[in-house]
Amino acid sequence: MRERHGRVQEQLEAANAERVYEVTRDDLPLHCPQPSMYLWNSHPKVYLPIEVTGEAKCPYCSSMYRLVGDSPR
């Protein structure tokens, strides 16, 4: 994922636009919204425990995150 600086010209993703996001272990620790999303129209950052079950749901926006690439530990 790209590092976010928050300028409009960066062409970041709309925050919480999808309902299911696939993430990898490289994205851990997982938080919503993601670094590739604008923050101006989103909720506060919340860390999501995904390592054990391989899935996590954001309590703010109900976006579902799925860990892909290997099986949960």
Phi/psi at 66 (nearest 5 deg)? -125, 130
Phi/psi at 26 (nearest 5 deg)? -65, -20
Nearest CA to 24 out of 57, 47, 1 is that of 1
What six digits make up the tokens of 30? Answer: 């997982």
Question: What is the value of pTM for the model shown?
Answer: 0.71
Strand partners, 66: 22, 55
Grouped pLDDT means (10 residues each) for the chain, 73 residues: 53 74 95 86 92 95 91 51
User: What pLDDT, on a 0 to 100 scale, did the predictor assign at position 28?
Assistant: 95
User: What pLDDT, on a 0 to 100 scale, did the predictor assign at position 44?
Assistant: 93
Phi/psi at 32 (nearest 5 deg)? -125, 130
User: What pLDDT, on a 0 to 100 scale, did the predictor assign at position 40?
Assistant: 77
